[in-house]
Structure 1
Amino acid sequence: MYQKEMLITGPDRHGKPVKAIVRTYQEADFDELIRIQAESFPPPYPEELLWNHEQLASHVANYPDGAICIEVDGELAGSMTSLRMQWDPSHPASHTWVEVTDDGYIRNHQPDGNTLYIVDLCVRPKFRKWGLAQLMMQAMYHLVIAQGLDRLLGAGRMPGYHLVADEMTAESYLEQVVSGEKHDPVISFLLHCGRMPVGVATDYLDDEESCNYAALMEWRNPFKT
Structure 2
Amino acid sequence: MSTTSQDKIENLSLEFLELADYDQLKHAMIDSYTNLPDSYWKKEQIKTLIDKFPEGQVVLKVNDEIVACALSIVVKYEDFSGQYTYEQVTGNYKFTTHDDDGDVLYGIEVFIKPQYRGMRLGRRLYDYRKELCENLNLRGIAFGGRIPGYHNYASEMSPKEYIEKVRMKEINDPVLNFQMSNDFHVSRVLKNYLDGDKASMEFGVLLEWDNIYYTQPVTDTVALKSTVRLGLIQWQMRPYSGIEELMQQVEYFVDSLAAYRSDFALFPEYFNAPLMAAYNDHSVSDAIRELAKYTGMIRDRFSELSIKYNINIITGSMPEIIDGQLYNVGNLCHRDGRVEQYEKIHVTPDEQKVWGLSNGSKIQTYDTDCGKIGILICYDSEFPELSRLLAEDGMQMLFVPFLTDTQNAYARVRLCCQARAVENECYVAIAGSVGNLPAVENMDISYAQSAVFTPCDFAFPSNGVKAEATPNTEMILVADVDLDLLKKLHNHGAVKNLKDRRTDLYSVVRK
Q: How many residues align?
A: 211
The residue number in structure 2 matching 1:20 is 12
- Cα distance change on mapping 1:37 and 1:103 into 2, 3 Å: farther
- Give, in whole Å, the separation in 2 of the partners of 1:51 and 1:191: 26
Equivalent residue in structure 1 for 2:64, among 74, 92, 107: 74
1:83 and 1:116 in contact (8 A); partners too: yes
* TM-superposed deviation, 1:126: 1.3
Structure 2 residue identity aligned to 1:120: E
The residue number in structure 2 matching 1:109 is 98
Taking only aligned residues, the RMSD between alpha carbons, in angstroms, comes to 2.0
The residue number in structure 2 matching 1:42 is 34
Equivalent residue in structure 2 for 1:64, among 33, 50, 54: 54
CA deviation digits over 1:120-179, x for unaligned, max 9? 001111111211111011111011000000000011100000000000001111111122
- Give, in whole Å, the separation in 2 of the partners of 1:223 and 1:131: 25
Q: Secondary structure of 1:117's match?
A: strand
Equivalent residue in structure 1 for 2:44, among 54, 64, 84: 54
- Give, in whole Å, the separation in 1 of the partners of 2:144 and 2:69: 17
Indicate yes or no: 2:50 matched with 1:29.
no
Equivalent residue in structure 2 for 1:195, among 178, 184, 188: 184
Indicate yes or no: 2:208 matched with 1:218.
yes
* TM-superposed deviation, 1:18: 4.1
* Stretch of structure 1 that moved more, 102-111 or 127-136: 102-111
CA deviation digits over 1:62-103, x for unaligned, max 9? 1111111011222211111000001139x8211100000123
Q: Secondary structure of 2:11's match?
A: strand
* TM-superposed deviation, 1:224: 2.7
Structure 1 residue identity aligned to 2:212: P
Matches within 5 A, 1:3-18: 12-13=6-7, 18=10
Structure 2 residue identity aligned to 1:162: H
Any stretches of 5+ residues in structure 2 without a counterpart? 216-511
- Which of 1 and 2 has higher RCO (CA within 8 Å, sep 6+)? 1
Return the index of the structure with the highest Cα Rg.
2
Q: Secondary structure of 1:148's match?
A: coil
Matches within 5 A, 1:128-167: 128-167=117-156
1:150 and 1:221 in contact (8 A); partners too: yes
Tell me the percent identity.
Answer: 27
- Cα distance change on mapping 1:11 and 1:46 into 2, 3 Å: closer
The residue number in structure 1 matching 2:81 is 92
Any stretches of 5+ residues in structure 1 without a counterpart? 1-9
Structure 1 residue identity aligned to 2:86: W
- Give, in whole Å, the separation in 2 of the partners of 1:130 and 1:183: 19
